[in-house]
Amino acid sequence: MQENRLSRESRFDYAVQRIETMVREGGFAPGDKLPPAREMCEDLGVSRTILREALRVVESKGLISIQAGKGVFVANHDLDVLDDRVDSLVASGKVEIVDLIQARHFLEPGIAHIAAIRATSSDIQNLEESLKGMIDNLEAGDAFMQADQNFHLLLARATNNPILYMMAKTMTECLSVFRKTIYEVEGAPAKAVQRHQDILNAVKGHDSHMAYQAMENHIIDAEEHQRVRMMQASLNHLDFEIGRE
């Protein structure tokens, strides 16, 4: 069972990387249509389900646009590249989890609020498929976290505000460093799915107040999970020190 899961994750990661390379280095111009799904599945050696999830991830990065009934098109790349200084800032240790949580409280509930007002039927469909990716990969580690990040980026896209999208993308990149430790807490992934469903329900109902509060609840959960994770790490360190005596 574990081998199958890892194998699926490996194929998923491979598909994401290949599609990104295809778009960046394949000679496509903005607006060009990518090969049909059947051809891409054969070329990548993956199922339609994995291809669909991989395409959603690449879309969340701003590289492509998935248009229902029409196909997959290369997007305008203006919002595609984040400044390398973001990665450098995180790597330097100058950004801590408390900084990110504080920034999330400031930014993400507002994004959810605007998305609930402006989201189109296509935006909602993308969010539904992203949430399904979380549910399908609930115990699949990296694939679950990728689907989680994808949901937040798609939500930011639904605001139709490029500045908010770029800010959300920066936030997501920073959070990726810490997200894994948060989801190591027992029950955290399942709780995240519940909160994302609450956010989606609010967006579908175009209830901006509910969307704001649902996102705020999600961030509060992340704070609590991080506290639990820090306590566990502290206790493990204490046990190790006692064992050495």
> What pTM did the predictor assign?
0.62
pLDDT tens for the chain, 245 residues long, are 333 444 666 788 889 889 988 888 777 888 889 999 999 999 998 999 999 988 988 887 778 888 888 899 988 654 444 444 455 555 556 667 777 888 899 999 999 999 999 999 999 999 999 999 999 988 877 888 889 999 999 999 999 898 899 889 888 877 776 777 777 778 888 999 999 999 999 999 999 999 999 999 999 988 887 776 655 544 444 444 444 45
Query: CB-based contacts of 69: which residues, under 8 Å, 6+ apart?
Result: none
Q: Which value, to the nearest 10 degrees, does the dihedral of the CA atoms of residues 43, 48, 50, 51 take?
A: 50
CA 14 centroid distance within chain? 17
**3-state DSSP call for residue 52?**
helix
